[in-house]
Amino acid sequence: MSGLAIHQLNKAYGPVNALSNISLSVANGQFVCLLGPSGCGKSTLLRIIAGLEATTSGKVLLDGKDITEVPAHLRDFGMVFQSLALFPHLTVGENIAYPLRIRGASKEVQDREVQRLLDLVHLPGVADRAITQLSGGQRQRIAIARALALKPKLFLLDEPMSALDAKLREAMQVEVKRLQQELGITTFLVTHDQREAMTTADLVVVMSGGVIQQIAPPVEIYRSPANAFVADFIGVANLIEGDAKVGGRVVVPGGQVLIDGVAAGGKVNFSARPEDLTLQSAAGDSTVAGTVAFIRHLGSSLEVNVAVPGLAKDLIVVMSPREHLPFDLGDTVHVHVPGSACVVLR
Ligand code: ADP
C-alpha cells in the first residue's frame, strides 16, 4: 500500500505503557490529527513515526517498506516542534537553508529554495532579517518553511501552534491546512485541541491512555463517536444511561427516550449533542423533565443547562440566539431528546 502504515506498535518506558497495540493506515496526501488529552501518547507516536524514538515492538511502513529501524536523519521527514527550534544566531534565510546546506546544496540552490519557501509561507523578502525581528506567527511560518525545504515525504507537526494566542492560532490552522492541500503532502499534527483537529484533519485519531479510541473523519467522530470517551472529548455531549424496554423505549431519569433498534433488557448508555435537543413546556414521547439551572447568552448561541434529578450532570441544550426562550431559571421544562440524535455507546 502507498502511504504510512503502523502495525501493532507498542512503546513502554519502564513500567509505563505509553502506546499499546497501535495500528493505523494512512493514504498519501492525508492530513491526520493525533488528538487526545495530555499524556495519552500522541507525541510518542509522532516521534516514533519521525524515527526519534525506538519502538518496543511493532512496525512502521512507508509505501510498503519497513522503516522501523531507519534513523531519523535518513527518513527525510519535515518536522516542526512546539519550541520551533529555530537557530537564533542565524538569519531567516540561513535557518530555512540549513537542511539544504548540511546536505551540500550549492549557494544558488539554497537561495532559490529560500525564495520559493518564503513565497510559499507568504513571507517574501524577509530572508536577511534576524529571527528575533519576527513575530510569533512569522517564526511559525519560518519553522514550517525550513521543515519543507527537503520536500519531505511526511510533514510532522508536534503542537507547533499551541504557544500562539487564540486568534492567530486559528489563522495559522487555516494556513497550514491550505499549504498542505496545495502541496498534497501527508501530514501528522499532534494536538490536544479538538477545534484544531476539526479545522485541519481529513482523519482524526483519537487517543486515550496510549490506546486508539477511534479513527475517522472529523464529522464522523462528532456525529458517531465510538464510545463515551470520544463523545465527551469532542465537543459537548449529553451522556445518559437508561434501562432498555421493548419497542426501543429507554427509561431514563426524568422520562424516557425512544431509540430505534435498541434491544430490550439491560442498561443502555447513549450520547446526544446539545444542538439536537429542544425545550418544550409539556412532556412528550421522548422527553426528560428537569429544571432550568443556568442560561448562557453566548452571542452566537443560547445555551441552557437543565438539571435532571438522577443525572450526574445537567443536560445542555443549545439554541439559536434568535429563538425566544419562554423559560426562566427554576422553571420546570421538558427536554425533547429525539431518538435519531442519540448515539448508543459501547
Ligand atoms: P502526549 O503527547 O499525549 O502528551 P506523550 O507521548 O508525551 O503524551 O507521553 C505518553 C506517556 O509516556 C506519558 O505517561 C509520559 O509520561 C510517558 N513518557 C513520554 N516520554 C517519556 C520518556 N522519555 N521517559 C519516560 N516516560 C515518558
Nearest atom, ligand 1, residue 44 CA: 6
Atom 23 of ligand 1, residue of closest alpha carbon: 13
Contacts of 54 (CB under 8 A, 6+ apart): 48
Nearest in space to 217 (alpha carbons), one of 208, 204, 234? 204
Q: How far is the CA of 177 from the centre of ligand 1 (A)?
A: 27
Q: What is the pLDDT of residue 222?
A: 95
Q: Is 328 helix (H, G, I), strand (E, B) or coil?
A: coil
Q: Are 203 and 217 in contact (CB under 8 A)?
A: yes
Q: Which atom of ligand 1 is nearest to the CA of 11?
A: 12
Q: Which residues, 6 or more positions from 111, have their beta carbon under 8 angstroms from its beta carbon?
A: 93, 97
* Domain 4-231: CATH superfamily, name plus number: P-loop containing nucleotide triphosphate hydrolases (3.40.50.300)
What ranges do the domains of the chain cover? 4-231, 236-344
Residue-wise pLDDT for 125-149, tens only, equals 899 999 999 988 899 899 999 999 9
Residue among 9, 13, 205 to mutate when testing ligand 1 (max atoms within 8 A of CB) = 13
For residue 162, count other CB atoms closer than 10 A to its CB: 13
Q: Do domains 4-231 and 236-344 have the same CATH topology?
A: no
Residue 44 CA to ligand 1 centre (angstroms) = 6
Alpha carbon distance 26, 32 (integer Å): 8
Distance, CA 5 to ligand 1 centroid (Å)? 22
User: Mean pLDDT of all residues in the chain?
Assistant: 94
pLDDT at 323 over 90: no
Task: State the Cα–Cα distance between residues 48 and 45, nearest whole angstrom.
Answer: 5
Q: Is 233 helix (H, G, I), strand (E, B) or coil?
A: helix
Residue 1 predicted with pLDDT over 80: no
pTM: 0.91
The share of the chain scoring above pLDDT 90, in percent, equals: 84
CA 213–ligand 1 middle distance (angstroms): 18
Coil, strand or helix: which one is 194? helix
Report the C-alpha gap between 160 and 179 in whole angstroms: 15
In this structure, the residue with its CA closest to atom 5 of ligand 1 is: 41
Give CA–CA dist 265/182, Å, rounded.
Answer: 53
CA–CA separation, 51 and 194 (whole Å): 26
Which DSSP symbol is given to 302?
A: E
CA distance 16 to 77: 28
How much distance in Å is there from the Cα of 198 to the middle of ligand 1? 24
Task: Please give the number of the atom of ligand 1 that sits closest to the Cα of 34.
Answer: 3
Query: If you measure from the C-alpha of residue 337 to the centroid of ligand 1, how many angstroms do you get, rounded to a whole number?
Result: 40
Question: Which residues are CB-neighbours of 40 under 8 A, at least 6 positions away?
Answer: 207, 208, 209, 210
166 band by pLDDT with thresholds 50, 70 and 90: confident
pLDDT in tens, 195-230: 999 999 999 999 999 999 999 999 999 999 999 999
Sequence letter at residue 256: Q
Ligand 1 atom closest to Cα of residue 41: 6
Separation of CA 105 and ligand 1 centre (Å): 37
Sheet holding 211-216, edge to edge: 78-80, 154-158, 186-191, 31-35, 203-208, 211-216
Question: CA-CA distance, 98 to 112, in Å (whole number)?
Answer: 13
- pLDDT, residue 21, reads 97
What is the mean pLDDT of the segment spanning 253-272? 95
pLDDT of residue 84: 84
Say which residues have a Cβ less than 8 Å from residue 96's Cβ, sequence separation at least 6.
Answer: 113, 114, 117, 118, 127, 142, 145, 146, 149
- ∠ CA 344-280-335, nearest 5°, is 25
**Using CA positions, which residue lies closest to atom 27 of ligand 1?**
13
Q: How confident is the model at residue 283 (pLDDT cuts 50, 70, 90)?
A: very high
Residues 6+ apart with CB under 8 A from 15: none
CATH 2.40.50.100 fits 236-344, yes or no: yes
Contact (Cβ atoms closer than 8 angstroms) between residue 163 and residue 155: no
Grid cell of 57 as nine digits: 515492538
Q: Which triple of cell numbers denotes residue 218?
A: 472529523
What pLDDT score was predicted for residue 231?
95
CA 271 – CA 250 distance, rounded (Å): 13
Atom nearest to 47 CA in ligand 1: 6
β-pair partners for 154? 186
Name the grid cell of 260: 430505534
**Ramachandran angles phi, psi of 28, nearest 5°:** -60, 145
Ligand 1 lining (C-beta closer than 6 Å): 13, 16, 18, 36, 38-44
2 alpha carbon – ligand 1 mean position (Å): 29
Q: Is 29 helix (H, G, I), strand (E, B) or coil?
A: coil
Ligand 1 mean position to 190 CA, how many Å? 13
Q: Ligand 1, atom 1: nearest CA belongs to which residue?
A: 39
The model's pLDDT over 96-131, given as tens digits with 9 standing for 90+, comes to 999 999 889 999 999 999 999 999 888 898 999 999
Residue 57 makes CB contacts below 8 A (sequence gap 6+) with 8, 9, 10
Mapped onto helix, strand or coil, the DSSP state of residue 274 is: helix
